Amino acid sequence: MPAQSFTEQFDSLRGELPGAALPWLRELRDAGIERFGSLGLPGPKEESWKYTRLRPLEQTGFAPAPAADTVSIDRLPALFPQSGMGHRVIFVNGRLRQCISFLPGELPEGAELGGLAEALGRDPEGMAERLGRIGRLDGQSLLALNTAMMRDGLLLRVKAGVTIPLPIEVVYVGAAGAEPISYHPRNLIVLEPGSRATVVEHHVGLGEGAYFANSVTEILVQEDAELHHYKVQEEGPEAVHIATLHARLERGAVYDSFTLSTGAKLARNEASVQLAGPGAECHLNGAYMLRGKQHWDTTSVIDHLTPHTTSREVFKGVVDDEARAVFQGRITVHPGAQKSNGHQLSKALLLSDRAEVDAKPELEIYADDVKCSHGAATGDLDHEALFYLRSRGIPESTARHMLIEAFLGETINGIAAEGLCPALMASVGHWLSRATNGERS
Amino acid sequence: MLEIKNLHASVDGKAILKGLDLSIGAGEVHALMGPNGSGKSTLAYVMTGRDGYRVTEGEIVYKGRDLLAMSPEERAGEGLFLAFQYPVEIPGVPNTTFLKESLNAVRKYRGEEVLDAMQFVKLARRRMKELGVSEDLLKRPLNVGFSGGEKKRNEVLQMAVLEPTLAVLDETDSGLDIDALKAVADGVNALRSPERSTLIITHYQRLLDYIVPDKVHVLAGGRIVRSGDKELARELEKTGYAAFTGEAA
Amino acid sequence: MAVSSETLETVRSVTGGEYKYGFVTDIESDFAPRGLNEDIVRFISAKKEEPDWLLQWRLKAYRFWTGLEHEEPKWSKVQHPPIDFQDAYYYAAPKEAKDGPKSLDEVDPELLRTYEKLGIPLREQEVLAGVAVDAVFDSISVATTYKEKLAELGIVFCPFSEAVKEHPDLVQKYLGSVVPYSDNFYATLNSAVFSDGSFVYIPPGVRCPMELSTYFRINAANTGQFERTLIIADRDSYVSYLEGCTAPMRDENQLHAAVVELVTHDNAEIKYATIQNWYPGDKDGKGGIYNFVTKRGACRGRNSKISWTQVETGSAITWKYPSVILQGDNSIGEFYSVAVTNNYQQADTGTKMIHIGKNTKSRIISKGISAGHGQNTYRGLVRMLGKAEGARNYTQCDSLLIGDRCGAHTVPYIECKNRSAIVEHEATTSKISEDQLFYCRQRGLGEEDAVALVVNGFCREVLQQLPMEFAVEAQKLVGISLEGSVG
């Protein structure tokens, strides 16, 4: 009974979790474990889990991650080609590693960057005010589990009017040995009015061990602030990666995100974005490349709560071997949210006869003066384009790679962060360089 | 025919027309010229009763009746026709259906017999021939995928079929090549009669070479700042509107 | 081909702009006792003098249904108070017509007048329109026209209950073969208590020379209607079928839970059209029909085709997903839908296209119009199975909103397990354009006529699929059902 075992884990850990002495946090954790206990792991009876089963969690026990051994910095892949391009914060098995993190030069005044555990010790009142405040809780059993078990995570707070010019690279390393482990990062990003920041998450696995990373990110983007949030998910082959994100955007705020996923055995990104002020705008984009028996799921809910709000969501992916991709996206325009503008697109290429794509793009509209649309398409590579390239002498495998790169490149090239596009395109190239089914057949 | 007195109108709370006076007699053709933003299209929409165009002061008397008290369709029934600057596309509605529905609605308003399909097609064909409009235009969905010229010709075709007593042409000449311009002008001229009046809203003097107006007015800053005969249009072509925008301020 | 304003006005002048078919026919009826139990199922079966195998099938369904209690489908977006299934009559029939009339001369003249009032004059229709009609009044079929002429071609078109007696082999072979009795809550209920409906069999190589049509009418109060329709198009055959539905205005909700099964063999085609205009309830949402219907077709044969067209303007709640199982290679499934919800109406409707065979194709065109407090949901599934080489689907769902208190929702499920299959889905939601309405009004059309014209343009692609004589009717209906939605 793994659900039971998480509860048991909590019982034995509760005394040593960060902030154990804080009454408000104790309450928060207790409420979390209670909700998780009553909900259990999400199952197929829940509409939003129709296509994704958490089998590894049902079958395997994941012990709490121990305070990890040292990880040497030169073993960590870097997204940006040369160091000095950004601030770097590193978490290993969910815990901040100060010694291998670095901040080139000073952060601007008014920017607070660090770890959750440390902040709970330093500023418990401030954390009480901000932690667990954003997003809905109903039905979210993995969020509840995270709330009970959270230890550490990224804390970023940017004061009004402050811009952090360099991107903040956050590396999450999963390093499991023979024993499956679990950890529950909890991130909190608050951008006060008029501030700007860029956060680049990089999730990597070291070794082949199984681990369960159950992260939750709370984001508040206040008036006219702008957050660029990128994520590269290259977890290990036996990893279960669950990322729940709740963002709230106030008047004129911009939240711009892109996720590239190639890793993990089972990955689910669940995002809930509330457009809570006129002029708020969110971009929720991504690309994925799957092979083997990988299962990838992105599920999003975008709520247009006020008039004059905009959302854009584009996901593109390629699925090979016996892998399966799931895209579920809902745009809800609430009563009175006139002049809302929402668009959603999911496109997938199947590269093998045993691959599968399931898409469920949803529109739920309760206001009339809106422009909302969605599209979804699945298919194979364009045969005519392939033939055209080959007729010009390009070998088939190269032609296939070119078409896949072009297909994914369309979304990746829209990324604003300097230096990141080439890194992501390189990641695409790297993935393709390992043989795809298309070539074998 | 038409008597506009001290007309003030606003859009979104912004005053556009600020005391406009205009009088058009039966059988007359008037041209209304003026720079961008002077209120030309606003006048056309106020006359036809579009939502969002609020009259704050003044009156419009049309054929002895209070025009502003009527709904848009009543105004159409009374013979007021607007050739739109940007004719609206309505997907799925064949042009011919729209024209027949319009004609019969207007005829019914006037207490005339409604035309059946055969009678209507005969009439429409005659008008299309006169205007040199190809029949294929009738079968296509209303204005959908029409070129700029086709849209404008289609407006004139509607006008010819509906036979209004007061036609307002809102920049019907803009974006037309010379052949289309002539065709539009021929259509308007063919309708000229002692009972019918026309108000041509235009930027340029070009169309007035083909449709000679009885009077020309200059609209600037929401008011008519000068009126004259067709020579005024030629003068404007040379001097531009700058002098008038100054006058209005 | 659009709605003409004169007819709109004629209709309005007769009806005061309200539901036109809301009258009650005063006719003596036979009822089964109120409520539902095994005895009722036996009663219905006995009334119809059914063979034992059918009674057993009904009982199997009934027992399965009792196991499902409180498991009504909850995944749809519709909301209604719980239905008390014991507080309804499951069988009602005009007294005269117990055994079904032999010819029109035997039909109660009151019934003939009813159908005339509904615009389906059974006699004139027979002479003039060239459309064969089966009229179903509450639980039973009261008249079928053109039967003899069709019989000459080997076509069977008769009440379901008659088919059970005359063509038991066909019925036994196909009944429940597309929608099994265990399919879903309402289909199971229908399997236990279905009353009557139409049965059609088109023999090999025959192209049915006329439209076949069934006209459903709920008359009796507190009565559920559970018709069952089965259409089989044998190889190389073709048939076009249309059903229409109305009911009186009553304050309480009435349940309509029909099942329709279609089967096409090699190279056969069925076109099935529905104009659903059950009583929608009043403008405050009181009364109206709960239209919970299971419709499914199986393209069993190669190159076969099933096409659903529906115009859903009536009912308080509509819950239906006419579907196609594309088994035969190269088979084609189509779904064309217009759904209008005004006042407090709710519709959750769409389709399922299950691609099994190679090179199977499906096309889904859905137009939803919401006005007043109406809630309109498109819900559809496109599934490409592993063997569906070269399969294709194209889906277009457009929603139009009139007013700011209504809702329009789109919930497509797309599941693809074949790399060579291509699935494309597009959906848009927008409000009715002020520019378009003003343009029409400037040309002299009244506001409601302008709305009707623009909405009919929006629906044109679907309405075009209907047989000519019904397309005109459907256009009028769309216009009328939106009355009161503007201004």
Can you give the pLDDT at residue A226?
Answer: 97
Determine phi and psi for C172, rounding to 5 degrees: -65, -35
Average pLDDT of every residue of chain B: 90
A223-247 burial by CB neighbour count: b if 16+ within 10 A, else e? Answer: bbbbbbbbbbbbbbebbbbbbbbbb
Which residue's entry shows tokens 């399966």? A324
Segment A362-403, tens digit of pLDDT: 999 999 999 999 999 999 888 888 888 888 888 888 899 999
Q: Which is more confidently placed, B6 or A134?
A: B6
Can you give the pLDDT at residue C116?
Answer: 67
Q: Which of C223, C298, C289 is nearest to C260 (CA)?
A: C298
Alpha-carbon gap, residue C260 to C178, rounded angstroms: 9
Alpha-carbon gap, residue B104 to C445, rounded angstroms: 9
Can you give the pLDDT at residue C453?
Answer: 93
Beta strand A211-221 pairing with A240-249: parallel
Say if residues A323 and A294 touch (Cβ distance below 8 Å): yes
Name the closest residue on chain C to residue A326, using Cα atoms.
C415
Residue A362 contacts C where some CB pair is shorter than 8 Å = yes
Average pLDDT of every residue of chain A: 89
Alpha-carbon gap, residue A347 to C356, rounded angstroms: 22
CA atoms within 13 A of residue C103's CA, in its CB half-sphere: 2
- What is the distance, to the nearest Å, from the Cα of residue C482 to the centroid of all Cα atoms in its chain? 20
Q: Which of A331, A51, A344 is nearest to C415 (CA)?
A: A51
Alpha-carbon gap, residue C487 to C131, rounded angstroms: 39
Residue B55, pLDDT above cutoff 90: yes
Q: How far is CA C189 from CA B27, B172, C56, C214, C315, in A?
A: 74, 64, 14, 22, 19
Alpha-carbon gap, residue B7 to C69, rounded angstroms: 70
Residue B121, pLDDT above cutoff 60: yes
Q: Which positions 415-434 of C are in contact with A (Cβ < 8 Å)?
A: 415-432
Alpha-carbon gap, residue B124 to B137, rounded angstroms: 11
Alpha-carbon gap, residue C126 to C157, rounded angstroms: 14
Token pair belonging to A12: 């034995």
CA atoms within 13 A of residue C326's CA, in its CB half-sphere: 35
How far away is chain C from the Cα of B5, in angstroms, using its nearest Cα?
Answer: 23
- C416, A335: Cβ pair inside 8 Å? no
Residue C386 contacts A where some CB pair is shorter than 8 Å = yes
Judging contacts by C-beta atoms under 8 Å, the chain A residues touching residue C407 are 364-366
Q: Which of A360, A365, A403 should be substituted to probe chain C, the one whose Cβ sees the most C Cβ atoms within 10 Å? A: A365
A387-394 CB contacts, 8 Å cutoff, 24+ apart: none
Length of chain B equals 249
Alpha-carbon gap, residue A372 to C24, rounded angstroms: 43
Q: Which of A354, A349, A352 is nearest to A404 (CA)?
A: A349
Q: Which of A363, A224, A218 is nearest to A280 (CA)?
A: A224
- A377, C423: Cβ pair inside 8 Å? yes
Can you give the pLDDT at residue C13?
Answer: 38
Regions of chain C short of the pLDDT cut 70: 1-20, 22-29, 70, 94-132, 137-144, 219-222, 247-248, 487
Paired with C459 in beta bridges are: none
A182 sits in which H/E element:
strand A181-183
Can you give the pLDDT at residue B246?
Answer: 59
Can you give the pLDDT at residue C128?
Answer: 43
Say if residues C240 and C467 touch (Cβ distance below 8 Å): yes
Segment A233-275, tens digit of pLDDT: 999 999 999 999 999 999 999 999 999 999 999 999 999 999 9
Residue A360, pLDDT above cutoff 90: yes
Determine phi and psi for A114, rounding to 5 degrees: 180, -155
- Which residues 6+ apart lie within 8 Å of A173 measured at CB? A71, A76, A90, A91, A92, A93, A204, A205, A206
- C404, A374: Cβ pair inside 8 Å? no
Paired with C371 in beta bridges are: C402
Segment B8-17, tens digit of pLDDT: 999 999 999 9
Token pair belonging to A413: 């090239």
- Which residues 6+ apart lie within 8 Å of C62 measured at CB? C38, C41, C192, C193
Nearest to B105 among C5, C435, C436 (CB): C5
CA atoms within 13 A of residue B139's CA, in its CB half-sphere: 3
Say if residues C353 and C385 touch (Cβ distance below 8 Å): no
Residue C80 contacts A where some CB pair is shorter than 8 Å = no
pTM of the model: 0.88
- A338, C415: Cβ pair inside 8 Å? no
ipTM of model:
0.88
Q: How far is CA A270 from CA A273, C95, C109, in A?
A: 10, 61, 64
Q: Which of C279, C234, C241, C247 is nearest to C260 (CA)?
A: C241
- What is the distance, to the nearest Å, from the Cα of residue A125 to the centroid of all Cα atoms in its chain? 28
- B101, C2: Cβ pair inside 8 Å? yes
C165-169 CB contacts, 8 Å cutoff, 24+ apart: C165/C49, C167/C199, C167/C201, C168/C51
Which residue's entry shows tokens 């749809």? C76
B17 sits in which H/E element:
strand B14-24
DSSP state of A36: H
Please report which confidence band the pLDDT of residue B182 belongs to, taking 50, 70 and 90 as the band edges: confident
Judging contacts by C-beta atoms under 8 Å, the chain C residues touching residue A359 are 412-414, 425
Can you give the pLDDT at residue A151?
Answer: 94
Alpha-carbon gap, residue C111 to C411, rounded angstroms: 42
- B104, C433: Cβ pair inside 8 Å? no
Say if residues C53 and C172 touch (Cβ distance below 8 Å): yes
How far away is chain C from the Cα of B105, in angstroms, using its nearest Cα?
Answer: 6
User: For chain C, first and last CA: distance in Å?
Assistant: 26
Residue C86 contacts B where some CB pair is shorter than 8 Å = no
Can you give the pLDDT at residue C12?
Answer: 39
Q: Which of A303, A373, A362, A301 is nearest to A336 (CA)?
A: A303
Q: Which is more confidently placed, A398 or A290?
A: A290
